[in-house]
Amino acid sequence: MLCVKCHTAIGTGGICKNCGAPAQRLNRNWSRFAKISIISLIIAAFGAYFVLNHFGMVDFNALESMFRAPAQVAEDPPPTDIGSVNPPDEVEQPTDNEDIAPERRSEEEHLAMLTTALAAAEAYVRNHHVSNPLISDMGYLYNVAKGRHIDVALLVSMQYLDEHFLDEDIFVLYLRPMDLMAFEEVDMYGIAPGQRDRMAVFVAWQTPLGIGLYSVHGQYLIFREHLNQLLASYNRNNGEIWRPTADDVVYTAFVDMIDTTSDAPVFVRHMAVDDVHGFAAFTTGDSQQLHNYIFALEYDENTFSRVSLIARGFEATAHPMVAINGAAPNFNFDLLPNYDISDTALLAADTRDFDEVLQAAIDHGWVNEEDEPLFASTTPAFAYMVFDHNRVFFGQYAQGIGWSIAQIESWREAEEFMAETVAHPPLYILWQN
């Protein structure tokens, strides 16, 4: 009951004890109106949340993150499906451990940890890249001479990092920024164009949203499945390796690609291809200068159509494998010949007077003095000659005996003989035709 005069709540009896005025029953309409209004507001709020979140107008996850402590990412386990692309056995991948709650770390502390780890990996590269070729093996930093991957455990053992880094769930990658830029979520367009195709060290760790990447270029995020795709694309196993000859379309396509300034013939000294790439070493005309090319095989509807040049000029590099790996991270090094392609003067400095070899063939009665070889190349120990009508000769020189010459079927016989005779056979003297 409510007094109609002083609006004081009173008990039963109908008379106000304060002023003696009559009382009336409380009108409950306002209560029902208030409840309806509150319920309507709640429904409207949920409706607005659904529409805005569904159509991407507001990122509520981002708003929520503004009001909660930063997530601990360094100690969360990395993606277990990285193993699906066969990461190196030596790279210690963190394992899931959901029973241990991660210790909270400020963003400044986390960045300091990443900066220290990156500096250690960068220092290792600076100290070893001259003496030992460093390449990307399935996306991981790899020392070719040592035959092992560069991970946190190695950096700790070599005192590049303190021992407490063994407890950090981070790993070291070696990637080209241009390959990361293929994924929309990786914003690396601020990198200078000249740096995009150069291998760079990245420290990687697991975050709730994907894989964090930190390098001298900045800090980035890539989805877990995209990182796996990238690492898989660095796989160097690209099918069976075979040696084309002049009758094969790949061989012909390569020779046609060579840009010569004259009509000088192209002599392929070594060529090997798989399903994706090829390597060729060749000379032109009478030149004794070897040129080395790596090229890609291109297909139209699974049928070979053409070759395209990837890189060349490895004769002038100290570590050709490093240069090739940077140009094509998935290039199979088994395509390379067994000699040092960085030697710029293999043929020019490793020759013997050809007249002696030719005279030995003439003495055997296999050729006449008027015959001109289509191709001839020698070293102090071996000689290889090709004349018209498919006449192929191979010779070996012995001190005190001179040249022993034999007629053979093809370059394959000479290659097999030299491989069985000496540890480092000069296969570059052959014409793989």
Pairing of strands 210-215, 218-222: antiparallel
Which candidate, 185, 182, 188, places its Cα nearest to that of 211?
Answer: 185
The predicted-structure confidence for 314-330, as pLDDT tens digits, reads as follows: 877 888 999 999 999 99
What's the rounded Cα separation, in Å, for the pair 170 and 201? 13
What's the rounded Cα separation, in Å, for the pair 328 and 325? 5
10 Å CB burial of residue 135 (0-12, 13-18, 19+) is: buried
Residues 6+ apart with CB under 8 A from 390: none
Q: What is the DSSP string of 340-363?
A: -TT-TTHHHHS---HHHHHHHHHH
Using the predicted structure, report yes or no on whether residue 160 has a pLDDT greater than 50.
yes
Query: Tokens 């060290």 appear where?
Result: 201
Region 84-103: what's the mean pLDDT? 43
The predicted-structure confidence for 9-64, as pLDDT tens digits, reads as follows: 445 555 555 555 555 544 444 445 444 454 455 445 444 444 444 444 444 343 33
Region 180-201: what's the mean pLDDT? 88
What's the rounded Cα separation, in Å, for the pair 283 and 344? 12
What's the rounded Cα separation, in Å, for the pair 347 and 315? 12
Confidence of residue 286 (pLDDT cuts 50, 70, 90): confident
What's the rounded Cα separation, in Å, for the pair 414 and 244? 16
What's the rounded Cα separation, in Å, for the pair 412 and 425? 13
Using the predicted structure, report yes or no on whether residue 285 has a pLDDT greater than 70.
yes
Task: Return the DSSP state at 186.
Answer: -
10 Å CB burial of residue 69 (0-12, 13-18, 19+) is: exposed
The predicted-structure confidence for 410-425, as pLDDT tens digits, reads as follows: 999 999 999 998 888 8
Q: Where are the alpha helices (DSSP H) in 132-176?
A: 152-157
Beta strands in 150-217 (DSSP E): 170-175, 200-207, 210-215
pLDDT of residue 399: 87
Extents of the domains making up the chain: 2-53, 80-233, 249-342, 350-429
Any idea of the CA torsion for 170, 231, 82, 215, to the nearest 10 degrees? 20
The predicted-structure confidence for 319-372, as pLDDT tens digits, reads as follows: 899 999 999 999 999 999 988 787 656 666 555 667 888 888 888 888 888 888
- Contact between residue 185 and residue 210 where contact means Cβ atoms under 8 Å apart: yes
